[in-house]
């Protein structure tokens, strides 16, 4: 069976809730403080594993309490952590997150041990031709590049979630089969300060064509509550978002990416994978936390059945 192999960050999210975000120089009294497992790598690996596909995480944590808690949480989510390394020198990555009353977030991410994952640590990493390799940009760019080259050489399909945006990621596009970005990352990748709001399909198509590295490449831009747009070799799709009562939007994008990889691993078409991932991400914002909000297969099936979206249920 195809595996999802995720290479990326492992982070403890420290989440403060307040009525609104503070302005520069302002102090706002918060309502609560919570600690949640997070980091794009961990989130996407947990999303994939909970949806029932064999999943391995390549990453680095610190030799500290946060690192121990994160490794235990990943194992309990059925993520293979044999390639989750432990740094004796750097602390586990940490994100400082503020959530307002509308569940919108601002995030400051401190990489910690994630910045220490180097190409030299990848000697024991192998890929199969049926695997999907999923990477993001919260680990060093040269490590991401090495992983993509290795995955491609083994015949694995490669997915790049170009987040957070790094100017150097443009060099990764020729070795990326599926590119996934949000609207801000798309603007940066296309060399624009911003994109039209609300973005038209024509505008999104034009920007994605500017970023496309080769004709067979599939490019996806996620649009939050507005859904997504995809430009692929087999067609293009503008898919609307689902109406939900958002509690916490942190991790929704990671849920989308992990679920998309799962659907591809299961042999679904690109359009089916997009719709499946769109639904999974929508369901995740109804729960608090990043990693904790990733739906399991049973809970997502119930969510889909309640909305009579039977076409996305696994047969």
Question: Is 254 noted as a catalytic residue in this protein?
Answer: yes
Is there a contact between 70 and 42 (Cβ–Cβ < 8 Å)?
yes
Q: Please state, in angstroms and rounded to a whole number, the distance separating the CA atoms of residues 201 and 119.
A: 39
Q: Please state, in angstroms and rounded to a whole number, the distance separating the CA atoms of residues 13 and 291.
A: 9
Q: Please state, in angstroms and rounded to a whole number, the distance separating the CA atoms of residues 67 and 201.
A: 43
Which tokens hold the place of 47? 């999303």
User: 74 phi and psi, to 5 degrees?
Assistant: -60, -45
Which tokens hold the place of 49? 């594993």
Which tokens hold the place of 50? 């909970």
Cis peptide before 139 (omega within 30 of 0): no
List the one residue out of 242, 239, 256 whose CA is nearest residue 294.
Answer: 256
What H or E segment, with its residue span, contains residue 105? strand 105-110
Catalytic residue among 13, 64, 131, 254: 254
Active site residues: 254
């Amino acid at each position: 069976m195809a595996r999802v192999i995720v290479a990326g960050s492992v982070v403890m999210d420290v989440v403060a809730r307040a009525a609104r975000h503070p302005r520069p120089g302002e102090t706002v009294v918060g309502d609560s403080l919570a600690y949640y497992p997070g980091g794009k790598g961990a989130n996407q690996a947990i999303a994939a594993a909970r949806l029932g596909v064999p999943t391995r995480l390549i990453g680095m944590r610190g030799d500290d309490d946060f690192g121990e808690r994160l490794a235990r949480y990943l194992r309990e989510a059925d993520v293979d952590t044999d390639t989750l390394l432990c740094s004796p020198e750097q602390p586990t990555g940490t994100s400082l997150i503020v959530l307002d009353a509308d569940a919108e977030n601002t995030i400051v991410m401190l990489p910690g041990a994630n910045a220490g994952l180097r190409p030299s640590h990848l000697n024991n990493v192998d890929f199969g031709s049926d695997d999907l390799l999923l990477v993001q940009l919260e680990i060093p760019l040269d490590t991401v590049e090495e992983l993509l080259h290795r995955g491609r050489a083994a015949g694995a399909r490669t997915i790049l979630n170009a987040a957070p945006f790094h100017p150097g990621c443009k060099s990764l596009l020729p070795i990326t089969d599926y590119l996934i970005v949000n609207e801000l990352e798309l603007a940066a990748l296309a060399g624009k300060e911003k994109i039209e709001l609300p973005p038209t399909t024509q505008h999104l198509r034009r920007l994605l064509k500017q970023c496309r590295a080769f004709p067979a490449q599939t490019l996806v831009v996620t649009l939050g509550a507005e859904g997504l747009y995809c430009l692929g070799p087999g067609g293009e799709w503008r898919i609307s978002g689902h109406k939900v009562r958002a509690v916490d939007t942190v991790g929704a994008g990671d849920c989308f990416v992990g679920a998309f990889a799962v659907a591809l691993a299961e042999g679904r078409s690109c359009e089916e994978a997009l719709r499946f991932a769109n639904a999974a991400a929508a369901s995740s914002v109804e729960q608090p936390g990043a990693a904790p909000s990733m739906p399991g297969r049973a809970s997502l099936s119930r969510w889909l059945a309640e909305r009579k979206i039977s076409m996305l249920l696994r047969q």
